[in-house]
Copies of this chain bind each other. A is one copy, B any other.
């Protein structure tokens, strides 16, 4: 007789077991804790927070890298080559994704692990698809906590991938040490492609697919972007963004990017901006979390739930000013 396959057979672990699993770099435990972080169940969230609280002293030691670029720029191919380079140096790399617009089953970024075939079976690598669709704030929090958990599990480099079209870049920028923008060569890209605000966030701008017939176009693009970057406001860390080229296909330029990141980290650690930036980010996320939780608490209050639709209707019909309506709701809330 064949035993039925048990899909939910995983043993419940204690906080201590989870924490020591992470400390051992147990990849399956890491995956399970991130699942808890991503869960909408309250008991899962509380468990996740307990684990996270225990882990805090062992976090913070990685280099956090944000990578973005429009669809088609070759992000997965790049991350595969880049990740393999990092593991070849004996370092552990984790790849997370942030994509608030994605829905399960609709081909979210990193949803398909097979896009990074070699990296996904590398014992020094951990790849985690984007959490399910949700508000940017929620997805950002989950990604930020996943970074901490990966650090607790001993990962030296954390890559946060995002698709370079929306608002998520700002969120990623506020949780990484270094921001890499991948771009394609070719006329008109500047207009068709990436928002200027995203370009201004980049510490390195890399032209991908700089191989074959594309080499000349790539060289021209480097010149164009160097001139463009020249006009951007200076960064507080005094780092001057670099423009590089690479080919994941010909495996060129990847090492140079890694070396540039290393010199960026040195640069920022020397002038103390590495630590300063992390502190500012932590503070930013504290107030973001407060705002998020405050909102959740407010909108769940039965009195608010009851009165809101009526006031909203009056505001929409122009009978009540938004400020006065908000005032009435807050007054009710205070009681």
Name A residues whose Cβ lies closer than 8 Å to a Cβ of B: 49, 52-53, 56-57, 59-60, 141, 144-145, 148, 190-192, 195-197, 227-228, 231, 278-279, 282-283, 285-286, 288-295, 297-298, 311-312, 315-316, 318-327, 329-330, 333-334
Contact = CB atoms under 8 A, between A and B. Distances in A.
B56 A290 contact: no
A53 B319 CA distance: 8
Contacts of A56: 318-321
A315 B286 CA distance: 7
A228 B188 CA distance: 9
A261 B214 CA distance: 45
B323 A141 contact: yes
Nearest to A192: B231
B49 A286 contact: no
A297 B145 contact: no
A141 B322 CA distance: 9
A31 to B, nearest CB: 19
For this chain, the copies found in one complex come to 2
Given A195-B197, A196-B196, A295-B294, A286 B231 contact: no
A49 B327 contact: yes
A254 B295 CA distance: 45
A49 B190 contact: no
A158 to B, nearest CB: 15
Contacts of A283: 312, 315-316
A322 B288 contact: yes
A26 B43 CA distance: 61
B228 A285 contact: no
B326 A286 contact: yes
A286 B298 contact: no
Given A195-B196, A196-B195, A297-B330, A286 B325 contact: yes
Nearest to A57: B319
A322 B289 CA distance: 7
A301 B141 CA distance: 25
A291 B322 CA distance: 12
A282 B49 contact: no
Contacts of A319: 56-57
A231 B195 contact: no
A285 B318 CA distance: 12
Contacts of A329: 290
A290 B191 contact: no
A54 to B, nearest CB: 11
Contacts of A289: 322-323, 325-327
